[in-house]
Structure formats: structure tokens, C-alpha cells
Amino acid sequence: MKLTKTILTATVAAFMLGGCYYQPGLVQDESYNRTKTGAATGALAGSMIGYNTGSHDAKSAIIGGLIGAALGGAIGYNMDQQANEIAQALGTGVNNDPLAALNPNNDIVVSKTNSYVKIMFRDRMMFATGSSKLQANARTKVQKVGQLLANYPQTVVGVAGFTDNVGSYDYNLGLSQKRAGTVANLLAVNGKPFTKGCSYNKAIVPNDSAKNRALNRRVEVYLYADSNRMTDPCR
């Protein structure tokens, strides 16, 4: 009971501390959900560690909780800041509307979850048909992302390529892998990103029209706080 009360105290302090991570000037999205989640998780872990490694008293648990909250909140804020900076550099905002990817006018969609930041590049702005060579404007956009990633050496990067279903699965698998690799090479500022070709798996919409097939052709870049949060982009 004593430990439970102490953990609650540390968690409340964590949310208060989370407010200190706000910084003016970040664009579009100011919800900072990851900051709050990170602070709370860090507070819980820190409280337990502080209680068990200290004198089993409230003071040790609270100190541990505040340290954990600071570390957890900093990671969350870091990812939120990256999302906003990248969106601004790409001339857009953070858009978590699930319908954003269905709008053919959105060549770039930057979104975020509690686990990662995702940048979707529409294929039509990226590659010529059947090619894995980036077009000039697309190369500039991807390079801007790479320049920003240089400021976040701890970020783990994943890149996935997606095609439509025209042609065989194996042909599209190879093409999607090459396209993901081309983008990954420009983002390898802090180490080689994880890459994967998804062929025509995980289609956004059914591949039953030219319009829909165009929506499914894309490259997605994922930014993770650490590799343990990575998921299979093809599923």
C-alpha cells in the first residue's frame, strides 16, 4: 500500500514534469501524446527501481520516479519534435487522419503514433514507372529528412517499399526492395536503416482501378525511439 501511494505520487509528478517539455515554434501538432506516455512509463519504472535499490522508502521511490519520468518524457518529446520538424521541412503538417493516405492529392503524409513517426511518400513523386531511381524533387525531399535525422542519432530508421499488383509478386517484391534501398541510402546518416520490400502486400485500397493502384504505390519511412519498438511494415 505504501509503495502504491508512492508510485501514484511519482506518476502525478511525471505528468506535471511533462508540461516542461513544451517548446514554442514546433509546427502543427502539439498533443505530445508520446511525451505523456513516456513520462508515465518512466515514472512507474523509476519508482520501482528507486524503491528496490534504495532504502525501501517513499523518498527513494519518488526520486527514482522523477528521474524515470524525465528520461521517458524526453524520449517522447524527442519523437514529437522530430515529427513536427520533418513535417515543416517537407512543407506539410503532422496529419493523423487515417483517410489522409486515401487522398490522391497528398504526395507526402507525416503521421505519428505512440510507437513511431511515419512519413509516406507517394510513388508518383518518387520514381518513374518500373524504376528505382529517385526523381530530382523526391531526392531533395528525402535528403531534407536525412539532414534532420543527423540531429537525432538515437533514432532507429526503417524504410519499406510498396507496389501495386501489376506484374508478378516476385517482380514487385524486387522493385519494392530496390526502391526502399534507394531511399534508405539517403537516410543512412546515423547508420544503415532497416529496409524491406513489401511487394503488393498491405494495400491501402483494393488494386481494382488505376486510381487505387496509384494510391498503393508508395515508400514509407518509420522513425522509432529504439529497435524494440519496430514492427513488420508489410503486415
Residue-wise pLDDT for 120-139, tens only, equals 999 999 999 999 999 999 99
pLDDT of residue 46 exceeding 90, the answer is no
Contacts by 131-137 with C-beta closer than 8 Å and gap 24+? 132/175, 132/178, 132/179, 132/181, 132/182, 133/182, 134/182, 134/183, 134/186
Other Cβ atoms less than 10 A from the Cβ of 134: the count is: 23
Residue-wise pLDDT for 140-173, tens only, equals 999 999 999 999 999 999 999 999 999 999 999 9
Domains and their CATH numbers in the chain: 2-89 (no CATH), 100-229 (3.30.1330.60)
What is the model's pLDDT at position 77? 75
Percent of the chain with pLDDT over 90: 65
| H helices present in the chain, as ranges | 2-18, 33-53, 58-89, 123-126, 136-149, 169-187, 210-216
CA dist 119 and 157 (Å) reads 11
From residue 6, alpha-carbon distances to 37, 51, 131 in Å are 19, 9, 59
Q: Do strands 116-122 and 108-112 pair parallel, antiparallel, or not at all (unpaired)?
A: antiparallel
Q: Do strands 116-122 and 218-224 pair parallel, antiparallel, or not at all (unpaired)?
A: antiparallel
> Which is higher by pLDDT, 98 or 29?
98
Query: pLDDT class for 202, splitting at 50, 70, 90?
Result: very high
Give the SS3 label for residue 186: helix
CA angle 144, 148, 151 (to 5 degrees): 155
Cβ–Cβ under 8 Å, residues 21 and 30: no
Query: pLDDT class for 78, splitting at 50, 70, 90?
Result: confident
pLDDT of residue 13 exceeding 50, the answer is no
